[in-house]
Amino acid sequence: MDAGPTTEPKATSSTEGLRPVPGVWVGNLRDIVERLVGLPPIKSLINWSRLYSLWPVHLTTACCSAEFGAMMGPRYDPERFGMQAAVGSMRQSDLLVIEGTVTKKMLKRIKVVWEQMPNPKYAIAMGDCACSGGLFHDSYSIINEVEKTIPIDVYVPGCPPRPEAVLNAVIKLREKIRREEVYSK
Amino acid sequence: MSTLDLNVGPQHPGSGHMRIMVKTDGDLIVEATPDIGYVHRGIEKIAESRNIIKNIPMLCRPNIADDSHLNWSYIKPIEDLQGVEVPERGRYIGTILCEINRIASHLYGMAIMGGIFSGHTTMYMFGFGDRELLLDLHEMLTGARMTFSFFVPGGVRRDLPKGFKEKLLETLEYIERHLPAIDRIFVSNPVFVQRTRGVGVLRKEDAIKLGVVGPVLRGSGIRCDVRKDAPYGAYDKVDFEIPTFKEGDSLSRWLVRFEEIKQSISILRQAIRDIPGGPIARKAPIVIPTGEAIGRIESSRGEINHYVVGDGGDKPYRVKMTTGSLKNLAALPFLLKGVRIGDLPIIYGSLDYWPVEADR
Amino acid sequence: MTISPSVQEEHIATAIRNELGNAVDEVTSQRKDRISVVARKDTLREVAQGLQRLGFDHAVSVSGVDLLEEKKIEVLYFLSSYSRDDLKHLVLSLRVKLDRESPSLPSLTPVWESANLFERETYEMFGVNFEGHPNLRKLLLQDNWDGPPPLRKDLKIPEMG
């Protein structure tokens, strides 16, 4: 028995032909989830959990690492902000602090570390050398502009910046995360 | 025998950015080759294009935890060439700053080796917490926590401020009271001792052949220290000993640093008691006469040498720095042969290698 | 802090002259705790072994200086002693001048193992070839460096005053 010529159903959008009913969301599942999660209660919860557990990678670049190490010490206590350097592996951290001068030999490796970090991830440029070249800007072997390779969120000037300045940068980063859209990355 | 190539790369859970390319057979290291240069900023080249005074902050950056030693070692040959003699009070103040800096640097080294590399976070917190009190003293005397740029040709920049002596003695008393706690928790701790005793043994003949310096040298039984062999500053007027241990393993290198802190406390007490009055600096020109000179200082990681060549202008013709970490690097491939991978962090930490200083 | 040489340095300089004879061109002491020995490229190994016999068992470092006007590169070995108490306070500089176009000299790593890393650094920074070095390759520069040896005066960086 021949099945007669079949007609392909016309491709329609998911909401075409349906009347909007007040109080009911109609649409495909992904849009619904994105809209729900982007609403203030869940968005604040997700952002709150991200900003209260910023774990930095153990990557020291140059001399500013001495002040970064002092910041992780007991007097400045970054653990009250949730920042602990417990693991150090890049797969389980979300903050990259570029401390100090970046040389041409090191840039490739920083890029590899950055690409291995899972999203969402943030970067802080600590010290004059990471911001703009600093004391060694005319050297033959350093990179003056790190932001062309790694997108930086907060810049901290200083040579070296005091630990309070770095903590201030972390607080500014937390404000930035608090306002962030959940699906923006 | 097939070996596995591993990369203890520029990013590793300790601190420091140098790479060790390791070939292993199972758990044993067959060969280890260090690869350095990740922080090479060309300091010696830049120093030829800047005025001698403007060079001071830049030449102190290789070892930011030992700033005063690098500074003094650069200024001494310039003063030799200019024929300027530093007054006695200036030398005493320089010695006081250098010894406070040495205690702070040793606490940093002990915190990294005992804390991060052997997994005891308590030592990290002890080391960095006590160090903060010394950085407060630095700030009181020089204005900065770590980067002082305190020595200029002719002497030092500032005199001791009011209240410095009382605060110094109070801080030294606190640190001296805290050292037995470190002794009880770490030096006598069987876990720490088992990880470090007999690990990475450097015998006396090998230490001389490889040319190591500093606590690595004194941990292998050779009593050499520039402060006693060729005294500078006020070191010929104070009484102190050079701790030396003959076992040559990682624990002796750690203990050398621990004992040196006690000696530094004694030097500081004598210096602040005996400091004479008078000027702190003499006027010196901002030119380097034609000629060459060598400066030698004992920093906390070893002997530092600066070789300065002048041509009559205000910029040096050549500045060559030799730092303790670059000389100790020769011991690393030697010590890592034939040990297990688990001992690599302890050996690396006991050499107290500061990569920025080695790469300059 | 006196800067003039003392009697002790003169004694040691005389002992070196007696031991090494014609192999060295000049042995002087210009200030306290410093002695300078000028040698030639062909006698360098012999002078080094002679100094080691006299008790200088530690090569502190190796350096180069680019003497642009004389068109020469001077290589200096700084030596000291760990085992002899009467030589511990000294730094002896063993120097040799080489032609700037193609500087090359015998490596002293067989005599002092501690000169190994510093000879590699002088090789990459000045272009000096050390004959007989076990592992002469770059130490600090990046892998794809293609400019002139950095510490020669040919490489110019901006003067900052």
Tell the residue number behind the tokens 């006469």, with chain if given. Answer: B289
Residue A87: partners with Cβ closer than 8 Å, 6 or more residues away:
A55, A93, B13
Residues in chain C closer than 8 A to B326 (CB atoms):
117-118
Residue bearing the bigger pLDDT, B267 or C33:
B267
Residue bearing the bigger pLDDT, C30 or B200:
B200
pLDDT of A31 > 80? The answer is no
DSSP letters, B45-73, are: HHHTTS-TTTHHHHHHGGGGGGHHHHHHH
Question: Mutating which of A55, A99, A105 best tests the B interface, going by the most B Cβ atoms within 10 A?
Answer: A105
Q: Please count the residues of chain C.
A: 161
Residue C130: partners with Cβ closer than 8 Å, 6 or more residues away:
C104, C105, C106, C107, C109, C119, C122, C123, C136
- Does the residue C156 lie in any domain? no
Q: Please count the residues of chain A.
A: 185
Looking at chain A, which residue has its C-alpha nearest residue C158? A138
Looking at chain C, which residue has its C-alpha nearest residue A104? C142
Is C142 in contact with A103 (Cβ distance < 8 A)?
Answer: yes
Q: Which of A123-132, C12-21, C134-143 has the highest mean pLDDT?
A: A123-132
What pLDDT sits at residue A91?
Answer: 87
- Give the closest-approach CA distance of C154 to chain A in angstroms: 13
C79 three-class SS: strand
Residue B192: partners with Cβ closer than 8 Å, 6 or more residues away:
B114, B118, B120, B186
Residue C138 burial by Cβ neighbours in a 10 Å radius (0-12, 13-18, 19+): middle
User: What are B's interface residues with C at a Cβ cutoff of 8 A?
Assistant: 36-37, 40, 42, 44-46, 49-51, 54, 79-80, 83, 85-86, 208-211, 217, 222, 224, 229-230, 232, 293-294, 296, 303, 305, 307, 309, 317-318, 320, 322, 326-327, 329-330, 359
* DSSP 8-state secondary structure symbol assigned to residue C128: -
Tell the residue number behind the tokens 């034609």, with chain if given. Answer: B290
What confidence tens digit (pLDDT) does each residue in A37-60 have? 777 888 888 888 888 888 888 787
- Give the closest-approach CA distance of A184 to chain C in angstroms: 37
Between positions 127 and 146 of A, the ones with CB within 8 A of C are: 138-141
- Does the residue C149 lie in any domain? no
Between positions 46 and 65 of B, the ones with CB within 8 A of A are: 46, 49, 57-58, 61-62, 64-65
pLDDT of C3 > 60? The answer is no
In this structure, what token pair is assigned to residue A150? Answer: 């790694």
In this structure, what token pair is assigned to residue C20? Answer: 């090494």
Please work out, in degrees rounded to the nearest 5, the angle formed at the alpha carbon of residue B35 by the alpha carbons of B69 and C133: 95
- Does the residue C29 lie in any domain? yes
How far apart are alpha carbons C133 and B69 in whole angstroms? 33
The full set of domains in chain B, from first to last, is 53-334 (1.10.645.10)
Is C141 in contact with A138 (Cβ distance < 8 A)?
Answer: no
Confidence of residue C2 (pLDDT cuts 50, 70, 90): very low
Is B15 in contact with A65 (Cβ distance < 8 A)?
Answer: yes
Neighbors of chain B with 3 or more C-beta pairs under 8 Å: A, C
Is C139 in contact with B50 (Cβ distance < 8 A)?
Answer: no
The closest CB to that of C58, out of B54, B79, B208, belongs to B208
Domain hosting C82: range is 7-131
In this structure, what token pair is assigned to residue C130? Answer: 């050390």
What confidence tens digit (pLDDT) does each residue in A100-126 have? 889 888 888 889 889 999 888 899 999
What pLDDT sits at residue A20?
Answer: 62
How far apart are alpha carbons B69 and C127 in whole angstroms? 31
CA nearest neighbour of A70 among A81, A78, A58: A78
Please work out, in degrees rounded to the nearest 5, the angle formed at the alpha carbon of residue B321 by the alpha carbons of B316 and B325: 165
DSSP letters, B1-30, are: ---EEEEE-SS-SSS---EEEEEEETTEEE
Residues in chain A closer than 8 A to B61 (CB atoms):
63, 135
Is A140 in contact with C142 (Cβ distance < 8 A)?
Answer: no
Tell me whether A108 touches chain C (CB under 8 Å).
Answer: no
What pLDDT sits at residue A34?
Answer: 76
Strand C24-31 and strand B28-35: pairing? Answer: unpaired
Give the count of beta carbons closer than 10 Å to the beta carbon of residue B65: 24
Residues in chain A closer than 8 A to C160 (CB atoms):
138
- Does the residue C57 lie in any domain? yes
Is B330 in contact with C89 (Cβ distance < 8 A)?
Answer: no
Looking at chain C, which residue has its C-alpha nearest residue A108? C142
What pLDDT sits at residue B263?
Answer: 93
Is A103 in contact with B38 (Cβ distance < 8 A)?
Answer: yes
- Does the residue C41 lie in any domain? yes
How far apart are alpha carbons B35 and B18 in whole angstroms? 6
* DSSP 8-state secondary structure symbol assigned to residue A162: P
Cα distances from C1 to residues B92, B225, B294, B298, C93, in angstroms, run: 13, 18, 14, 17, 21
- Give the closest-approach CA distance of A121 to chain B in angstroms: 17
Confidence of residue A13 (pLDDT cuts 50, 70, 90): low
Residues β-bridged to residue A103: A142
Q: What percent of chain C has pLDDT over 70?
A: 95
Confidence of residue A185 (pLDDT cuts 50, 70, 90): very low
- Give the closest-approach CA distance of A80 to chain B in angstroms: 15
Residues in chain A closer than 8 A to B16 (CB atoms):
60
ipTM value of the model? 0.91
What pLDDT sits at residue B106?
Answer: 93
- Does the residue C152 lie in any domain? no
Average pLDDT over every residue of C55-77: 89
In this structure, what token pair is assigned to residue A181? Answer: 């859209």
- Does the residue C127 lie in any domain? yes
Residues in chain C closer than 8 A to B359 (CB atoms):
140
Residue B116: partners with Cβ closer than 8 Å, 6 or more residues away:
B13, B14, B15, B124, B349
Give the count of beta carbons closer than 10 Å to the beta carbon of residue C61: 25
Please work out, in degrees rounded to the nearest 5, the angle formed at the alpha carbon of residue B342 by the alpha carbons of B340 and B343: 70
Residue B123 falls in which region: left (phi positive, over 0), alpha (psi -120 to 50) or beta: alpha
Tell the residue number behind the tokens 């530092």, with chain if given. Answer: B304
- CATH number of the domain residue C93 falls in: 3.30.460.80
The full set of domains in chain A, from first to last, is 55-172 (3.40.50.12280)
In this structure, what token pair is assigned to residue B263? Answer: 């000696």
Query: Using only C-alpha atoms, what is the Rg of chain A?
Result: 24
Residue bearing the bigger pLDDT, B300 or A30:
B300
Burial B102-119 (b: 16+ CB within 10 A, else e): bbbbbbbbbbbbbbbbbe
Mean pLDDT of chain C: 85
Looking at chain A, which residue has its C-alpha nearest residue C151? A140
CA nearest neighbour of A130 among A142, A122, A120, A139: A142
How far apart are alpha carbons B44 and C152 in whole angstroms? 11
Q: What is the pLDDT along chain B (360 residues), one digit of tens a residue?
A: 688 898 888 877 666 788 889 999 888 999 999 988 888 988 999 999 888 899 999 999 999 888 999 999 999 999 989 989 999 999 999 999 999 999 999 999 888 888 888 878 888 889 999 999 999 999 999 999 999 899 999 999 999 999 999 999 999 999 999 999 888 888 888 888 888 888 889 999 999 989 899 999 999 999 989 999 889 888 999 999 999 998 888 899 989 999 999 999 999 999 999 999 899 899 988 888 999 999 999 999 999 999 999 988 889 999 999 999 999 999 999 999 889 988 888 898 888 888 888 888
What confidence tens digit (pLDDT) does each residue in A63-77 have? 888 898 899 889 998
- Does the residue C138 lie in any domain? no
Residue A158 falls in which region: left (phi positive, over 0), alpha (psi -120 to 50) or beta: left
Looking at chain A, which residue has its C-alpha nearest residue C148? A140
Under a CB-based contact definition with an 8 Å cutoff, are residues C75 and C59 in contact?
no
Residue C4 burial by Cβ neighbours in a 10 Å radius (0-12, 13-18, 19+): exposed
What pLDDT sits at residue C20?
Answer: 78
Total structural domains within chain C: 1
Residues β-bridged to residue C91: C34
Residues in chain A closer than 8 A to C141 (CB atoms):
105, 141
Own/partner contacts of B285-289, CB < 8 Å, gap of 24 or more, are B285/B82, B285/B153, B286/B51, B286/B52, B286/B53, B286/B153, B286/B314, B287/B82, B287/B312, B287/B313, B287/B314, B288/B52, B288/B78, B288/B81, B288/B82, B288/B312, B288/B313, B288/B314, B288/B316, B289/B81, B289/B82
Residues in chain B closer than 8 A to C66 (CB atoms):
318
The residue type at C86: D
Q: Which of A2-6, B348-352, C155-159 has the highest mean pLDDT?
A: B348-352
CA nearest neighbour of B289 among B270, B314, B266: B314
Give the count of beta carbons closer than 10 Å to the beta carbon of residue C95: 19
Is C157 in contact with A141 (Cβ distance < 8 A)?
Answer: no
Confidence of residue A1 (pLDDT cuts 50, 70, 90): very low
What pLDDT sits at residue B174?
Answer: 94
Is B208 in contact with C83 (Cβ distance < 8 A)?
Answer: yes
